Amino acid sequence: MPVRDSYDAVIVGGGHNGLVAAAYLARAGQSVLVLERLATTGGAAVSTRPFAGVDARLSRYSYLVSLLPPKIVRDLGLDFAVRKRTVSSYTPAVRDGRATGLLVGGDRTRDSFAALTGSDREYEAWQRFYGLTGQVAERVFPTLTEPLPTRDALWERIGDPDAWRMLFEEPIGVAVEDNFADDLVRGVVLTDALIGTFADAHDPSLLQNRCFLYHVIGGGTGDWDVPVGGMGALTDALAGAALAAGAQIRTGHEAVRIDTDGSHAEVTVRTASGESTVGARRVLVNASPEALAALLGDAPPAPAEGAQLKVNMLLTRLPRLKDRSVDPREAFGGTFHIAEGYGQLADAHRDAAAGRLPAAPPSEIYCHSLTDPSILGADLAARGYQTLTLFGLHTPARLFAADNDATRATLLKATLAELEAHLEEPLADCLALDADGAPCIEAKTPLDLERDLRLPGGHIFHRDLAFPYAAPETGRWGVETAHANVLLCGAGAVRGGGVSGVPGHNAAMAALGR
């Protein structure tokens, strides 16, 4: 098969990390080709109109931004912004037969803790705990776009033995139980260790600690912000930056094989009209480690497994809450925790580990359109329509293997029932209808994500997260592979996961010899 063209760099996959790498390399004067098998770029970081005839452009898969370094936005001159949420979270509860809840964010936080727990103890513990994680965030986040530090170097940079032990050595459940007494408060803290991760609070692997760390260091503050215009606004800006710098982007082009001798590579590409080959000095793969191994013909890595349910909804209005002390706009403006008490999370993990759906599925919801109504058409916004994004925990892919469609329907019903236990009205009364008269709600299981996006096992991080320091098997940037001129620039790189652009930046730096 003849080689059609040759480039300094061919990037396999046009997700956000691949586009970051393309923009950096093209701006450095390299010839760059991006190959994307789908009809559009963006991967999981896209905005779409999922409901027929409805002008609502939703972040269909990934939906909040925390780990994207402002450095990347500045370096690439991106026309992209995020907005802060006025409320961090709301968690409904029933105490002494009375509907109540915990509202975190703004001037009411202390009073909300006191009303829920009867004292200031949990609030003061919260302040100390997140003061400590905030110090870690300030020191660790800047390292994500630097060469990997050694474990000892990161320890010295953090400079706090208690913080190091809590985050890097002991299961996070120890710190949660030592610092907090209230089950609901413990659960709110623990959720950051479980988003996209199937683990118990005391898992000896510390997988939950790695997840927790990445969720509290973003931006040096741990804030999770709303992308203005939806997640597709970021990837559109990245694609524009790459093209403006001279990169070529070809959609509908699937890389199916990589042959390399360590100094030159050939990438076999499949399109609707057949197969061809392009040459490159380097290949950057913005796909999972599993896909990378398949492209190279290498032994596959350990299987990955996702464990989440993603639900998108459009409502004609926000539902009324049983807790009259909080406005629905406050409750849904931040992260609305459902069935996420500490004991409930442990029960849900136990159920799923035993091969059954959680009896009370835990999840969390937020309303993008309260912070950023630009994703709604003018008519919908004027009529008060709102979006809801739900992310469910502890639902590993194995639970859907026998019958994905039936299990999805069962899980969605049970998950919404947990939400409705805290509402004054059925959610169905608030759901908008599409042009065909169907409710505007869609759910994605791990198997759906594997089918749609080729996420291995539906794992949103491509594989288990790693601590952000060098290990014997990592290279200088955490993107290197066994092949000298092939780099991994997807979420499966060390310091990958989330919408960050970090693996793309780091792969570009490695390719440039920075």
Three-state secondary-structure class, residue 96:
coil
Q: How confident is the model at residue 65 (pLDDT cuts 50, 70, 90)?
A: very high
Q: Look at residue 3 and tell me whether its pLDDT is greater than 80.
A: no
Asked whether the beta carbons of 46 and 238 are under 8 A apart, the reply is no
pLDDT beyond 60 at 1? no
Torsion-angle region of residue 219: left (phi > 0), alpha (psi -120 to 50) or beta?
left
- Asked whether the predicted pLDDT for residue 149 surpasses 60, the reply is yes
- Res 12 pLDDT > 80: yes
* pLDDT surpassing 90 at residue 134: yes
DSSP string computed for 279-291: EEEEEEE-S-HHH
Read off the pLDDT of each residue in 330-344 and give the average, rounded to a whole number: 97
Query: Per-residue confidence at 455, pLDDT binned at 50, 70, 90?
Result: very high
Percent of the chain clearing pLDDT 90 (strictly above): 97
Do the beta carbons of residue 239 and residue 71 sit within 8 Å? no
pLDDT bucket at 514, cuts 50 / 70 / 90:
confident
Long-range contacts of range 270-279, CB-CB < 8 Å, 24 or more positions apart? 275/1, 276/1, 276/2, 276/4, 277/1, 277/2, 277/3, 277/4, 278/3, 278/4, 278/5, 278/6, 278/7, 278/10, 278/33, 278/35, 279/3, 279/5, 279/6, 279/7
| Alpha-helical segments (H) within 161-315 | 161-164, 172-179, 183-190, 207-217, 231-244, 289-296
Cα-flanking dihedrals φ and ψ of residue 280, to 5°? Answer: -160, 145
Mean pLDDT value of segment 31-59:
97
> Mean of the pLDDT values across residues 454-475?
95
Q: What is the mean pLDDT of residues 67-73?
A: 96
Average pLDDT, the chain: 96
**Quick one: pLDDT at residue 473?**
85
Q: Which helix (DSSP H) or strand (DSSP E) does residue 447 occupy?
A: helix 446-453
Is residue 4 over pLDDT 90? Answer: no
Over residues 9-32, the mean pLDDT reads 98
Helix (H, G, I), strand (E, B) or coil at 451: helix
Q: What does the alpha-carbon distance between residue 500 and residue 419 come to, in Å, rounded to a whole number?
A: 30
> Is it the case that residue 357 has pLDDT exceeding 70?
yes
Question: pTM to 2 decimals?
Answer: 0.96
In the predicted structure, residue 267 carries a pLDDT above the cut 90: yes
Give the pLDDT confidence score for residue 2 in this predicted structure. 47
pLDDT bucket at 162, cuts 50 / 70 / 90: very high
Tokens of 424: 């004054």
Residue 294 is predicted with a pLDDT of 98
pLDDT value of position 158: 98
Position 94 confidence tier, pLDDT thresholds 50, 70, 90:
very high
Section 170-179 average pLDDT = 98
Phi then psi for residue 390, to 5 deg, are -115, 135
Beta strand 3-12 with 32-36 is parallel
Q: What is the mean pLDDT of residues 408-425?
A: 98
